[in-house]
């Protein structure tokens, strides 16, 4: 069952939702989306389709992304594998979140999925555990970030086919680990996540 009911739209606040994708991957960027919309003005049929990106299949996410972008203000930011290795994945993710929210340029409270509050924002910020099933803007951010990151990894896989990134998006699947064993690290791997290779 999807978490957002258009009949209950008045209970959803007009906030900036922020979420990341790729924090646990072995390679590629951490992708962050920051999204603002007023749920009262958002298409009800689209609101009803929002959910945590992990609960949606790739085709559904890909179909929803341009619809979300057409009806919301959206900003993206990425934390490169180099930044992840330099300052750690948590700090790199929070830096990307700060950049995405700043790039959005909307004066509204910020709700972030998870347990971390984004430092350095001139806006009120609150962390919401399980936010991608509680706050529609966070759900939308998770969908857009996942779709964009999957496309980045698909393109990278054309140059580095040994790791099957087009199927695993850089996560540690058996095929990806087999590629690492056979080929070693690529320039897109996080050294801090793949030291044994």
Tell me if 150 is assigned to a ligand binding site. Answer: no
Cβ(132)–Cβ(140) below 8 Å: no
Quick one: CA torsion of 50, 100, 118, 19, rounded to 10 degrees?
Answer: 20
Token pair belonging to 48: 């009803």
Tell me if 151 is assigned to a ligand binding site. Answer: no
Strand, helix or coil for residue 30? strand
- Cα separation values, 3 from 80, 115, 133, Å: 32, 20, 6
Tell me if 20 is assigned to a ligand binding site. Answer: yes
Residue ranges at the known binding site: 19-20, 113
Residue ranges at the known binding site for a divalent metal cation: 19-20, 113
């Amino acid at each position: 069952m999807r978490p957002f009911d258009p009949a209950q739209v008045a209970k959803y606040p007009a906030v900036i939702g922020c979420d990341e994708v790729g924090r646990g991957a072995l390679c590629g960027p951490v992708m962050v989306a920051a999204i603002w919309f007023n749920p009262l003005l958002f298409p009800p049929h689209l609101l009803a389709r929002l959910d945590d990106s992990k609960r949606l299949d790739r085709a559904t996410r890909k179909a929803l992304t341009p619809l979300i972008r057409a009806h919301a203000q959206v900003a993206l930011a990425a934390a490169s594998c180099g930044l992840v290795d330099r300052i750690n994945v948590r700090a790199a993710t929070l830096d990307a979140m700060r950049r995405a929210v700043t790039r959005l340029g909307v004066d509204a409270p910020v709700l972030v999925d998870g347990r971390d509050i984004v430092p350095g924002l001139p806006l009120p910020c609150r962390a919401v555990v399980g936010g991608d099933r509680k706050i529609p803007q966070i759900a939308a951010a998770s969908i857009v970030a996942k779709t964009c990151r999957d496309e980045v990894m698909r393109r990278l896989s054309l140059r580095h086919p040994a790791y099957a990134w087009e199927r695993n998006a850089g996560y540690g699947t058996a095929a990806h680990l087999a590629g690492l064993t056979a080929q070693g690290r690529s320039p897109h791997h996080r050294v801090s996540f793949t030291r044994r290779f």
